[in-house]
Chain A
Amino acid sequence: MSDMAAQPSAPAELPSAKTDWLPLLLIPALGLLALPFVGSPSTWVTLTVAGLAMGMMIFLMASGLTLVFGLMDIINFGHGVFISLGAYATLLVLGPLAGWATADSIGLNLALLALCILVAMGVTALAGAVFERVIVRPVYGSHLKQILVTMGGLIVTEQLIHALWGASPIPIPLPQSLRGAFVLGDIVMERYRVVAVIIGLVVFVGMQLLLNRTRIGLLIRAGVENPEMVEALGYRIRRLFVSVFIAGSALAGLGGVMWAFYRQTLTAGMGMEVMVLVFIVIIIGGLGSVGGCFVGSILVALVANYVGFIEPKLALISNILVMALVLIWRPQGLFPVARR
């Protein structure tokens, strides 16, 4: 951080900082463990890339939720509707610019995706602001009421999506050049998944920079740990919280776009369906921890992909098993957030 002019000279021996590496090692360990069961290395690479892509999308959808919880102890069960809303917002772009999707130009195709993301994030940011004001703000402090009222918000918003765009599923085409796969020898990687991994990584790195290198980030991290003290230092945590809520909604919108192109179908319930994974991920990661959310997302998605290949019927149960194992190991999640 540049605004810190003074930097005392570093003393000779520094006590070493304790970094918790164990949960991070879970990911490569899991990958290695899966290799012999999967058998062929090329299949393994395909599965791993697919898992990473899935993980990144879950991370996008989950990160805002976990921060909102950490900052204000508010759990938004309606978060899933921002995912759906973001997905439907792509129609605002795909309608008028349908030609860009079929054009045989990577530039136009990617521009279309970027435009979809921008519009979706704008729409969900706006919806997040309204949701926070109307649904969430009156029920600060009561988890029970929060769960109920945000569920209510979810029901109403899903119905509004039905009223606006109709109740039947809407197919959306993946832009031309994002279809198909990269083939390297006998390794097959679907293009769109690679794009999803890149976007996910960019967002993750961006968030890490924001959280660790800026004053806003410091405030968010401090606020997650002790909101009262942040106020006593003279910062208005409400304003900070509203911004994080809105940013979290916009991220869910981004996740929604990615998820929509992945499924290539829109339904109002698609957000709520994926919320199950989102909740598992933030529980595994430790409520309030962005890093934990990232590790948890990848872990859950990789397990689902490996298990789905080895024993398809177990794929969706595997998440519950992962969660149960993690909670038995660390009841507060992989990276428990210190609170007061």
Chain B
Amino acid sequence: MSTSPALSLAFDETRRRGGLLTGLLSSDLPRSRALSFILLAIFVLLAATPFLFSGSQPVGTAAKICVFIVLVASYDLLLGYSGIVSFAHTMFYGIGGYGIAIALERISPTWGSVAIGLVSALALSALLAVAIGLLSLRVRAIFFSMITLAVASAAAVLASQLSDITGGEDGLSFQLPPALRPAFRVLSEPVFGTMINGRLLAYYLVFVVSLVVFLLLLRIVNSPFGRVLQAIRENEFRAEALGYRVVAYRTAASVISALAATAAGALMALWLRYNGPDTTLSFSIMIDILLMVVIGGMGTMYGAVIGAAVFVLAQSYLQVLMGAGSAALAGIPLLPNLIHPDRWLLWLGALFIISVYAFPGGIVGRLRQSKS
């Protein structure tokens, strides 16, 4: 696909004019018109969801996308930029969720508790990430994958065992600080037909914090630190020979990634007013994260945005489509089973495998390629 000179000039113009935008994006621009358009669309839709759609379902979906963008982007820092596979990402996500849930439920539904919960969760995550990193990254990167899997499953067991603290399998429901409750009214009159209440504030809290954390992660991967990580990913021995302490860099990456995941977990708990093993700790969420980052595009950060949006939407709408297909094929052996709505993971799994083989850059990589 070739672009006409006039068009590409126009594109360059916008790029030059976007000084502020370039700064916000740490000079790591989407580098594809289609990608820029999609990202912009996702941004606008997420920013305006409460005013565009009615009912609680779309806002809930939008909040979930916001949180998953942070969760997946922080995972991309590890997988895509550092080349290490962790299976403990949901553990950190869970720690964030439990931090908020335990503080708000056990202490008081106030902003002070939110702060206490968040800070203790971040501290615990950092500590665990350092411990795992030092224990396993020292030997071989492959140990890290297996050990994180073991530690994460132990954490899940622990969370369900220590029911006095965590609420066990039932999890914890809690009250939010008054300003985030639906009953809290900022304005007495609705704006564009939408009530400006605590629930709306909660959504924008999730949205803004997610945006800020995402931009921070983008800044980190484009910093000298991020470039060293990529050098290590490309050639560990060469980086070591150049004098970089590989273990220290990898451990630092896993700590940063863990902190961001913890923040995402905290946001998710705040939004749901609940935290339990199934919402943040389960292994199936870990699988979801893997699918999102690989399908979206590893090592691109923007892949997290696309992956999370596509995945969360597919979760809601692909199933409807498959349900229709399955019903249409009723009577044929096995086929209806294969496209049964519950089997949507089968197809995403297949897409995942094909992505790893054929499109290591995922959707973002494809879009950037077709541009040139």
Contact = CB atoms under 8 A, between A and B. Distances in A.
Asked if A and B form a direct contact in the complex, defined as CB atoms under 8 angstroms apart, the reply is yes
Contacts of B83: 144
Contacts of A152: 349-350, 352-353, 356
Given A163-B340, A320-B154, A313 B161 contact: yes
- Interface centre among B136, B150, B161, B346, by most chain A C-beta atoms within 10 angstroms, is B150
Given A164-B337, A167-B342, A135 B138 contact: no
Contact of A319 (B145, B146, B150, B342): B150
Nearest to B151: A320
Contacts of B141: 143
A332 interface: yes
B interface majority secondary structure: helix
Contacts of B6: none
B371 to A, nearest CB: 25
Given A279-B150, A283-B146, A283-B147, A162 B283 contact: no
A151 interface: yes
A138 B357 contact: yes
B145 A147 contact: yes
A324 B356 contact: no
A75 B346 contact: no
Given A143-B142, A159-B345, A323 B150 contact: yes
Given A149-B356, A283-B147, 16 more contacts: A75-B145, A75-B146, A148-B352, A152-B356, A153-B353, A155-B349, A155-B352, A159-B346, A160-B346, A162-B342, A162-B343, A279-B150, A287-B142, A316-B153, A323-B147, A327-B139
Contacts of B342: 162, 167
B43 interface: no
Nearest to A324: B135
Contacts of A206: none
Nearest to A69: B142
A311 to B, nearest CB: 11
A91 to B, nearest CB: 16
Interface string A3-46: 00000000000000000000000000000000000000000000
B99 to A, nearest CB: 20
B343 A147 contact: no
Contacts of A138: 357
Contacts of A160: 346
B157 interface: yes
Interface of A: 75, 77, 135, 138-139, 143-145, 147-149, 151-153, 155-156, 159-160, 162-164, 167, 272, 275-276, 279-280, 282-283, 287, 313, 316-317, 319-320, 323-324, 327, 331-332
Nearest to A278: B146
Interface string B211-224: 00000000000000
B282 to A, nearest CB: 11
A331 B139 CA distance: 7
20 contacts: A75-B146, A138-B357, A144-B85, A148-B290, A149-B356, A155-B346, A155-B349, A156-B349, A159-B346, A162-B343, A162-B346, A163-B337, A272-B283, A276-B150, A279-B146, A316-B157, A324-B135, A327-B139, A331-B138, A331-B139
A234 B157 CA distance: 50
A138 to B, nearest CB: 6
Interface residues of B, number: 44
Contacts of B142: 75, 143, 147, 287
A159 B343 contact: yes
Contacts of A320: 150-151, 154
B47 interface: no
Contacts of A77: 145
B143 interface: yes
Given A151-B287, A155-B349, A283-B147, A316 B343 contact: no
A320 B157 CA distance: 12
Nearest to A323: B150
- Interface centre among A163, A287, A317, A324, by most chain B C-beta atoms within 10 angstroms, is A163
B20 interface: no
